[in-house]
Amino acid sequence: MAALKQQLQQKLQQKLSPQQIQLIRLLELTEIEFEERVQQELVDNPALEEGREEIPDSINEFDANADEDGNPGESAEELTLGDYRTEEDIPDYRLEADNYSKDDKKEDIPFVSASSFHDYLESQLGELSLDETSYQIAQYIIGNIDDNGYLQRPATGRLGVLVVGVGGAVATTMITGTLAARKGLAKAIGSIAQMATMRMQDGKEHLIKDVVPLVDLNDIVFGGWDIFADDAYEAAMYAEVLKEKDLNLVKDELKAIKPMPAAFDHNFAKRLNGTHIKNAATRWDMVEQLREDIRTFKANNNCDRIAVLWAASTEIYVPLSEEHKSLAALEKAMKENNTEVISPSMCYAYAAIAEGAPFIMGAPNLCVDTPAMWEFSKKMNVPISGKDFKSGQTLMKTVLAPMFKTRMLGVSGWFSTNILGNRDGEVLDQPENFKTKEVSKLSVIDNIFEPEKFPDLYGDVYHKVRINYYPPRKDNKEAWDNIDIFGWMGYPMEIKVNFLCRDSILAAPIALDLVIFSDLALRAGMCGIQTWLSFFCKSPMHDFEHEPVHDLFQQWRMVKETLRNMVGETAPSYLD
């Protein structure tokens, strides 16, 4: 062993002649590089002639690599120039730390010795008692989590949007506008997901749909349930929100959308008499039928994902009870058919969550905003959002109230009244249903004003809300607000707002955005209450440990912060 080591040391100390070094360099070239070298030598040295030199057989008797005793040396394949190089052959500048010329681009190679985020998550699996299947699922999930902690899945495949009340004014207006927009026949005006921008770290404004992976409008398939059997085109004609010429642009697509029988209980909407409804023995049976509808629609339309949107009328007021405070109690009440506390909307929400579909609550009634549903959504890893689309009068309040508070102007009274003639107005003409809406509308300004913090300004605000059913107006709602404010030294002033709006025109893009962003949340691994979607809701859902945010501009910032976090960006230092 010692002799072999000494032989290797002697070998490495050998000195080669320049001709031998040049030969070895030639031997290290590839065939193509060698041919190029030969051609270059012929160009540089005209005295050379190209041709094949005949080598006498006697030359093979000489081994250029033999040692002094005539023993065979290394073959050309084994011989490399590096074996004969020593530090004496290396120029001093090559041994310096910074040996780059001014023309070279210096690149630092990062070295990371700490464990990665994914390594940390995988290490936690060892502390859990998981069977083989659960362990494989956990590894798959961890592998799809990005460095920002989001389970990012691209928006591939088709998204099925199942609408409760698919034949209603809001639903048919949303569907028609979406179909027209994807054919290039209309603009998605009012849609944050399609038209809004946000400033990123590069200092530039980018369309939100270019920042995060939102579903393409062409990949959306519409369906749903309704208490009337009319297809979407017939229902839209009846609603009289959109003109016939606009509906005819997508008539064939609308005609193809035929509602499934709805889960309906007349006691929760006494002004409506549905004829296209399910026959369910219990609320649990109602849930099972809805789940089957979701599975069938998903399979028949080759959908990758489903989202369920409530765009139906407001149900009667139901207070929170013990049956709503845990998942076990909720399921027990459904199986026992406790129709006093389990509404049809709760059946839709439960069915959607059970099928892994986000549920969006567009009305103000008690539904998904209960501890039982929060527990279930987290268990199934499904996002939920709501409630009550913020479209008209309340939208104005969430803009004006922050203005009064920012300027420290006092408010002594706020009287609001509406006239509305569509089906929603008819339902809200029933006192039990109006109470549900009233609670939603009244909560807005108290939260913004913080009367306990500013008693001199907002400690005694008289707030009144009225909604009147007036059939001639149909969907063209009119809202009046009389606001009594006071300023310097208590001197009173008045502000009057008359908003002649179109209810469904304002609500349609909100409904679409809630669907699109809920689908994004699902693919990002987000579950439970989606507080960041409060921007779109009159009565933002929240748990008992938190207060809702009603200020429109604070809500908008929450939207942008969430989207920035998804792509690993930080919020700007200024108010954005």
Express each pLDDT in 15-35 by its tens digit: 556 666 677 777 777 777 777
- Exposed, middle or buried, 333 (CB in 10 Å: 0-12/13-18/19+)? buried
Work out the average pLDDT over 487-501.
96
Residue 88: per-residue pLDDT: 53
165-209 per-position pLDDT tens digit? 999 999 999 999 999 999 999 999 999 999 999 998 888 999 999
**pLDDT(156) > 60:** yes
Work out the average pLDDT over 206-223.
96
More confident residue, 258 or 46: 258
562-571 per-position pLDDT tens digit? 999 998 887 6
505-554 per-position pLDDT tens digit? 999 999 999 999 999 999 999 999 999 999 999 999 999 999 899 999 99
Q: Could you tell me the pLDDT band of residue 474, with boundaries at 50, 70 and 90?
A: confident
Residue 483: per-residue pLDDT: 98
Least confident of 4-8, 168-172, 389-393, 404-408: 4-8
Q: How far apart are CA 252 and CA 240, in angstroms?
A: 18
Q: Which residue has the tokens 């990005």?
A: 146
Residue 17: per-residue pLDDT: 61
Instruction: Give the containing element (helix H, strand E) for 226.
Output: strand 220-226
What's the half-sphere exposure (Cβ side, CA atoms, 13 Å) at 213? 14
Q: How far apart are CA 141 and CA 527, in angstroms?
A: 14
Residue 263: per-residue pLDDT: 97
Mean pLDDT (the chain, rounded): 85
Q: Could you tell me the pLDDT band of residue 333, with boundaries at 50, 70 and 90?
A: very high
Residue 569: per-residue pLDDT: 83
pTM: 0.75
Tell me the residue type at 35. Answer: E
**pLDDT(261) > 50:** yes
CB under 8 Å to 387, separation ≥6 — which residues? 361, 362, 363, 364, 365, 367, 368, 369, 440, 537, 538, 539, 540, 541
Work out the average pLDDT over 62-68.
49
Residue 181: per-residue pLDDT: 97
Q: Could you tell me the pLDDT band of residue 69, with boundaries at 50, 70 and 90?
A: low
93-150 per-position pLDDT tens digit? 555 555 555 555 555 555 445 566 667 777 777 777 877 767 766 776 676 666 656 5
Q: How far apart are CA 128 and CA 67, in angstroms?
A: 67
Residue 62: per-residue pLDDT: 45
Q: Could you tell me the pLDDT band of residue 59, with boundaries at 50, 70 and 90?
A: very low
Least confident of 10-24, 361-375, 432-446, 485-499: 10-24
